[in-house]
Chains A and B, each alone.
Chain A
């Protein structure tokens, strides 16, 4: 029995009463401060009964690699100054792509302990001003040292996991394509996302371009035939191709967290954090399974234990689809689908917006974008919107939503978190 499954509770309940997110994409003329300011403004406007930002007692800000990407470290005081929280405490958290979930976790613990009542948690990353090679190198800082010297890149590690999964369960590239196609179906419904086109749209655009140039027009029968065409979907780290990988993005996001007993003075519709878990992992050479993340299992056991909920209670989730294979592994690790069965459920449409278990209604990291430090609280932004019925066109249809979850992965599985949210 894992140590994490022993039931731990937070000492005082915590609710989210505001959330904001910048547009995600590539923004050559905006820097990290501009992006965070955009997310912060939306968060302020989202607090139904209003509040004075001077009441924020402390903040935690996730950032993975601005030291490398934009040659600026020590983001705590910069964000403190930007938001007017100065001179109160603002701390940077780093857990690779899970950096801002760790910011939320620190805020959660601070409120649960009684140390603070009103806390900001968020994250920011500014990646697009680097070349693709520089970004590849920057992200590779989060692989394990042995993976790095064996020539692994980030997509490479996930490519290796995909070959192991295919071999063990008989799945193939076409099953991962179902994930990509689904993310791109949700994409046009998210006005803040980086990509807003379906795979169909992209195929038509490609055909039109070929026709205009007088080149042979591709004659793809369907989305999968296009995705199997290396001219449309070139390999990055086989079997991971371009459309299996999330893009390089800039962006910021944040949430306002308060002690449970104060929540109703901010909004009649707070979202409560009822379960949280975090685990760590060891890289490909030492992990117990090549088709599962041990850190996920730990995080899930802790979060389910804390909340008293089971995977069946979770109605929808945002999971960390940095690569298509990752989404598949996560939905099995978290218990939404049995191990080795996830790819079949996806093929049957169960993870679509209309399906039994909608996954990544935001378009996921694949389409919404993945500014790494901003991703964790941006996933929470989506759950906040869905649970409050404010997700607009991408609102999960026909269901009364009250339990949602986010799963955030850092590095190549070195850090995983799982958070469960409830609307009461």
Chain B
């Protein structure tokens, strides 16, 4: 794997390549996603890139009716809410991400503990192209 700094910018570039990457401490094995340069466990700076399995379970969620402008531009509103959540990954860490494949109009149907798998959402074009991390029920 090429050398990239352990930064949010690298993390987002990996997402564009449909890779969900964290960093792993070579000294104590702790995994961080998004990646950290410094291990908070042992204070080592000896990190390596670690590809996450992209599997986990839903730990918390919300269905948003009044979103920020970039979500409104995607067509979400009071009549068409979207779900975003917190996923506990099989490797241990948690990550916040958009939740696809659930009925955000019927939040009672969404269950904490549901197994999830990763997905990459490509939105916008040209300079505005962005890739978002998402999960959907496995």
Contacts and interface: CB of A to CB of B under 8 A. Distances in A.
Interface in B21-43: 33-34
A239 B96 contact: no
A159 interface: yes
Contact of B98 (A151, A155, A163, A286): A151
A284 B64 contact: no
Interface in B53-103: 59-72, 78, 81-82, 84-86, 93-98
Interface stretch (A229-237, A249-257, A294-302): A229-237
Contacts of A147: 96
B84 A150 contact: yes
B112 interface: yes
A157 B34 CA distance: 18
B107 A290 contact: no
B128 to A, nearest CB: 14
B8, B66, B94, B132 pick with most chain A CB within 10 angstroms: B66
B65 to A, nearest CB: 5
Contacts of A194: none
B133 interface: yes
Given A150-B84, A151-B64, A151-B84, A164 B71 contact: no
Contact count band on A: 35 or more
**Chain B contact residues (Cβ within 8 angstroms of A): what range?**
20 to 34
Contacts of A136: 66-68
Contact of B86 (A151, A153, A285): A285
A140 interface: yes
Nearest to A282: B40
Interface string A151-162: 111011101111
A146 interface: yes
Nearest to A239: B107
Interface of A: 132-133, 136-137, 140, 145-153, 155-157, 159-164, 167, 234-240, 283-286, 290
The 7 lowest CB-CB distance pairs between A and B, nearest first, are A159-B62, A164-B60, A238-B63, A160-B60, A238-B107, A150-B96, A167-B112
